[in-house]
Amino acid sequence: MEKKRIIVGISGASGVIYGVELIKHLKRLHIEVHLILTSAGEKVLSLEMSMEGRELKEYVDVLYGASEIGAPPASGSYPHHGMVICPCTMASLGCIANGIGDDLLTRAADVTLKEGKKLILVTRETPLNLIHLENMVKAARAGATIMPASPGFYHHPSTIGDLVHHLVGRVMDQLGIKHHLISPWEGENALLKGARYLKK
C-alpha cells in the first residue's frame, strides 16, 4: 500500500461528531479513509448533526453500509493500517467481544483483530453495567484498544470543538498519525502558564 488506509466505523451511539471530525482530519492529512456507516449511525448523524450519510462522501474514499457484508473490509486479506469505531455502541462492542461478525462493521473489526492490526473502540455509554465492563475486558484481551469518549480538560477547552479535537487527537496518537489538533503534555508548569490547543 502506498497510501495509509484507515477504516472508520460509525455506529448508532451518541457522539457521532467524534467520528465525523475524525474522518475530516484524516482526509486533511491525505489518509485514505474507508467508512462503514450503520443505519443507526446514520439516524444519529441526522439527529445530532442534521446531516445525511451521503454528505460524508466528500470526506471519505469509500463509503459502505453495514449490510454490505461482502465488501473488501470483511476479509482479513484486505490491507489497511488500522480500524476505529467512533462512536462504538455497547451492542457493537458486545458483538466484537464475542466474535459475532454479523454485519460489515463487526466483521471488519473481527478480522482486524485476527490479523493483529490496530482496533480502537471509542465507546460511548454511561453508566456502564457489568455486561458492558466484561465485554470491554474481553475485547481488550483480544487486542482492541478501548477509548471511552471522555475528553480531558487540562488544555483549558473553551468550545465543544476543543473537547472533540482532544479526543480525536488522542485517537490519532493511538494510530501513530502525526497531527496538530492538541498540544503535547509538557507538565504542570506549562499548564499553569495556560497551555492551549494549537491553532490550525
pLDDT digits (tens, 9 = 90+) for 89-122: 999 999 999 999 999 999 999 999 999 999 999 9
Side by side, which strands form the sheet with 5-10?
62-65, 32-37, 5-10, 83-88, 119-123, 145-146
Q: Return the domain boundaries, the chain.
A: 5-154
The pLDDT of residue 9 is 98
Which grid cell sits at 68?
A: 454490505
Average pLDDT, the chain: 92
The pLDDT of residue 182 is 80
- pLDDT-derived band at 38 (thresholds 50, 70, 90) equals very high
The pLDDT of residue 199 is 45
pTM reported for the whole predicted model: 0.91
Measure the CA–CA gap between 63 and 55, rounded to whole angstroms: 10
Secondary-structure class of domain 5-154 per CATH: alpha beta
Measure the CA–CA gap between 107 and 101, rounded to whole angstroms: 4
